[in-house]
Structure 1
Amino acid sequence: MATVIQPVVMCGGSGTRLWPLSRKALPKQFAPLIDGKSLLELTLDRLKLLNAEVTCIGSDDHRFMLDEAMVNCKVTGREILEPVGRGTAAAVAMAALLAEPDAMLLLAPADHYIADPKLFASTVAQGVDAALAGYIVTFGVAPSFPSTGYGYIEPGRVLDESKGASAGRTVAEFHEKPTADDAQRMLLRGDMLWNAGILLARADTLIEALENCAPDILASCRQAMQSGSTDGNFFRPERKAFESCRIDSIDYAVLEKYERIAVVPFAGAWSDVGSWSAVAAMHPADEDGNRLSGKAVALSSKNTFVHAPLRPVVALGTEDLVIIDTQDALLVASIHCLEQVKDVVGLLTAAGRTEATEHRRVARPWGAYDSIDAGERFQVKRLTVKPGAKLSLQMHHHRAEHWVVVKGTAMVTRDEETILLRENESVYIPLGVVHRLENPGKTMLEVIEVQSGGYLGEDDIVRFDDTYGRVTQLKKVSGK
């Protein structure tokens, strides 16, 4: 009987190297990058070739984006919601503790790109025997250039001579990100592998390894899981116990210390999508080395990457540039300065610019809102509400709202009234009135919202009822 593999996707992290597309409120794993799909969605599509029952581990702040990605990819399973980030060691510990002891877990980051999903699935299958024998199996990528941005794995002896190295070898040593000279030497050796950070192991093997190498992390996670709570598909570890867990990666906490680690080589294209140059490499180049995405155009240009999903962006006479266009921010950078993108985010954050951390379009469990325009004492938003979804029953102390339906049908609660609005109809919500907007139809509802008042911040909301468990009566909370 074939071993059932249970995929676990680690969805934490909020890197800044892909700003302005990736931001704290929309980390790179949730941002649409390839053919309108996010890296998380591509990961889920890849993993469901092994099993459509998937466990995802991510931030509580991103729970609804995580849930939406799972629905879009037609996968089911549990979602472990971290109250704070504690690194991959804690994520692996929680996944192992939640699973049955003999469960075969495949732990994969949500933000990697693998061009050949079928080759990946067959490579994972090659590691099952080693994992059943009590090894933690990692997957090493055959390097295509002397990268200084990846860690390396030095393979040891072959585990099964009858099957050869493809079935796995021991790990002789993990090497940190090398210098350029060391990376060149590793490439010339011919057997060194990039560390892809993907693991295959039985749950009880992982727990044993954590007990031996990081018992404090395991203890904190065990307490957090035992005292946690379940809300539908969401599992929330107990906050105080989880906060007591030290921050560490599974590599440092376990893999570099544990004796029974094996590596299986993966021969396909792989990237951790850690920079805009990595994103550019995922797009085909024209004869001048230009790589274009969306509505981008290049003329008399060389080695230029343009990401333009929303409007035409023309690169004219450019060379060695990266141009990233979003609704509210534009990045134009030399390909030689892309490592400094994170410094730009730091400067914008210090200046108090919301564009450093938030997009103009903000996802909500019921849909999204897009801040179209704003000025003194007014703000205009475009609300999109999913079929059957509804906003919280709420009230504002400092603003009034005017809703105009431009697409679909809206059901509006206004104090004791219930009003049905169709396209081109509108309603006024005075300051202090308890109200709610919902979509009773089967198509997307689009509403233009005009806010007016002395304070228009998203924290001016008192919620009295909410489908998504966000009620905080008589307290100000963030978001619609």
Structure 2
Amino acid sequence: MKVLPVIICGGAGTRLFKENRDNLPKQFIDFGGWTMFQKTLDRINSKLFLPPIISTNIKYLNLVKKHLKKNKITDYKIILEPSKKNTAPAILSPCLLPEIASNQIILFLPSDQLIEEKNKFNQEIKKNLNKIFYKDIFVFGIKPKEPSDQFGYFFRKKNSINVSKFTEKPSIKIAKNIIKKGGLWNAGIFMSTKENIIYHFMNEQNKLFKNCLLSVQNSNKKSNSIFLESHSYNKIKPISFDCAILEKISNIKSIRLNINWSDLGSWKSLLNFYNINKKKYFTKTNLFRRPWGTYRNLFKGKNFLIKELIVNSKGCLSLQKHRHREEHWYVTEGYPEITLDKKILKPKLKDLVHIPKGSIHRIHNKLKKPVKIIEAQIGKILKETDIIRIEDVYGRIKN
């Protein structure tokens, strides 16, 4: 049996751009000639899968169609939510379509994750298809690279694929302990059958189930798009699939993925991605020399700019501030001394330093080894003219 991919694509993606409300959701942001939704569509371009269903918000319809056309996908369905209600109804509503067979295996994929090892990922799915039985839901887990308070975790029973416990977004201190005990990141990817998903919603979230069913039954179908009926759907209280179902049932199994995975949901993870792939963005014209070293513009997106700064030994940027932008600095090499208002910071390798808009700041490299930093500038105006120098060892302040 082929797998039906359901792509969950309705998130607002506010973790990266909290102030800039006009930014696109993360899954649609151009990060350098590609988007995460595009990468997700590419992942299911395989004989293993049936044509996809995209579960999204009605306001993203044109964006979704644009990406489907770009990826030359002509066979698909789009389910359109009239309002944002989190992942539980977004997962349930595709399962209620009458044309889907009750024993159909469905893979639920977030649209905003980066998984470069497509073949490995699909092999793991194929390996586990015959393990799905009555009431089973499979969750996908990733071995954590570092403690994070941005992800949920789960434990597996000893020598078993069965899940014993979920922990939702713990503190860094608790996350460290979870990792020591063998906990996995919850990747937010699920696999089950139509009948299993419906069974658990009927038993654990009956009111949500009834409203969602009415919304599907009374939906308006137009070509490949299904417009869910708003009166019933708007009665649903927002709730995640984890809270609605996974935390309440015992028939949960797991697939451990030994692949490179990221949701690029923080500036730290995003800047690390650009650091790993920075050579792809190198050109002859994007390198700029300064008295303290060099910087290279890697990519300019909507309301953000990614740079690499190289501060030479004894190099010192001007003490400065910005009116129109905030910055994030991700240390990839060396040991900088950073002035941030009245504080002196000494970040280590892979540390992230946030420079709020209007704060006074500077990078100073007092050692022999060069300092390398991947910088994200965030704001509507991202120009060198938005540098207000307060002190400068190179005499660049004009009186």
Q: Is TM (by shorter chain) over 0.5?
A: yes
Q: Describe the superposition over 1:70-92 as per-residue Cα deviations: whole angstroms up to 9, x where unpaired.
A: 12122321000111011100011
Structure 1 spans left out of the alignment, 5+ residues: 160-168, 322-328, 342-355, 361-480
Structure 2 match to 1:91 = 90
Q: How does 1:121-136 map to 2 (within 5 A)?
A: 121-136=122-137
Structure 2 match to 1:332 = 327
Q: Say if 1:144 and 1:245 are closer, same or farther in 2 by CA, change over 3 A.
A: same
Q: Describe the superposition over 1:49-70 as per-residue Cα deviations: whole angstroms up to 9, x where unpaired.
A: 2325000011111101101111
| Contact 1:17–1:339 (CA under 8 A) maintained in structure 2 | no
Structure 2 match to 1:137 = 138
Structure 1 match to 2:79 = 80
- Once the 2 structures are TM-superposed, how far is the Cα of residue 337 of structure 1 from its aligned partner? 5.1
Structure 1 match to 2:51 = 53
Q: Describe the superposition over 1:124-155 as per-residue Cα deviations: whole angstroms up to 9, x where unpaired.
A: 22331232454100100011222222111100
**Residues in 1 aligned to 2:149 and 2:355: alpha-carbon distance in whole angstroms:** 13
Structure 1 match to 2:388 = none
1:57 counterpart SS class: strand
**Residues in 2 aligned to 1:44 and 1:279: alpha-carbon distance in whole angstroms:** 20
Structure 2 match to 1:369 = none
Structure 1 match to 2:16 = 18
Q: Say if 1:113 and 1:145 are closer, same or farther in 2 by CA, change over 3 A.
A: same
Give the letter for the 2:328 counterpart: A
1:199 counterpart SS class: strand
**Residues in 1 aligned to 2:49 and 2:297: alpha-carbon distance in whole angstroms:** 36
**TM-score normalised by length of structure 1:** 0.60
Q: Say if 1:236 and 1:339 are closer, same or farther in 2 by CA, change over 3 A.
A: farther
How many residues are treated as equivalent by the alignment? Answer: 322
**Residues in 1 aligned to 2:129 and 2:355: alpha-carbon distance in whole angstroms:** 37
**TM-score normalised by length of structure 2:** 0.72
1:85 counterpart SS class: coil
Give the letter for the 2:221 counterpart: T
Q: How does 1:203-222 map to 2 (within 5 A)?
A: 203-222=194-213
Q: How does 1:25-40 map to 2 (within 5 A)?
A: 26-33=24-31, 35-40=32-37
Structure 1 match to 2:300 = 308
| Contact 2:286–2:296 (CA under 8 A) maintained in structure 1 | no
Q: Which gives a bigger RCO, structure 1 or 2 (Cα 8 Å, sep 6+)?
A: 2
| Contact 2:30–2:301 (CA under 8 A) maintained in structure 1 | no
| Contact 2:10–2:60 (CA under 8 A) maintained in structure 1 | no
Aligned Cα root-mean-square deviation (Å): 3.5
Q: Describe the superposition over 1:392-445 as per-residue Cα deviations: whole angstroms up to 9, x where unpaired.
A: xxxxxxxxxxxxxxxxxxxxxxxxxxxxxxxxxxxxxxxxxxxxxxxxxxxxxx
Q: Describe the superposition over 1:212-257 as per-residue Cα deviations: whole angstroms up to 9, x where unpaired.
A: 1111111110010011010000001101110011100000000011
**Residues in 1 aligned to 2:155 and 2:296: alpha-carbon distance in whole angstroms:** 36
**Residues in 2 aligned to 1:312 and 1:239: alpha-carbon distance in whole angstroms:** 39
**Residues in 1 aligned to 2:148 and 2:140: alpha-carbon distance in whole angstroms:** 17
| Contact 1:151–1:178 (CA under 8 A) maintained in structure 2 | yes
Q: Say if 1:315 and 1:102 are closer, same or farther in 2 by CA, change over 3 A.
A: closer
**Residues in 1 aligned to 2:225 and 2:299: alpha-carbon distance in whole angstroms:** 34
Greater percentage in strand: 1
| Contact 1:151–1:177 (CA under 8 A) maintained in structure 2 | yes
1:81 counterpart SS class: strand
1:173 counterpart SS class: strand
* Matching of residue 187 in structure 1 with residue 179 in structure 2: yes
Identity over the aligned pairs, expressed in percent? 24
Structure 1 match to 2:233 = 242
- Once the 2 structures are TM-superposed, how far is the Cα of residue 23 of structure 1 from its aligned partner? 4.9
Give the letter for the 1:40 counterpart: F
Structure 1 match to 2:389 = none
**Residues in 2 aligned to 1:94 and 1:339: alpha-carbon distance in whole angstroms:** 42
Give the letter for the 1:173 counterpart: K
**Residues in 2 aligned to 1:62 and 1:85: alpha-carbon distance in whole angstroms:** 12
Structure 2 spans left out of the alignment, 5+ residues: 318-323, 331-351, 358-377, 382-399
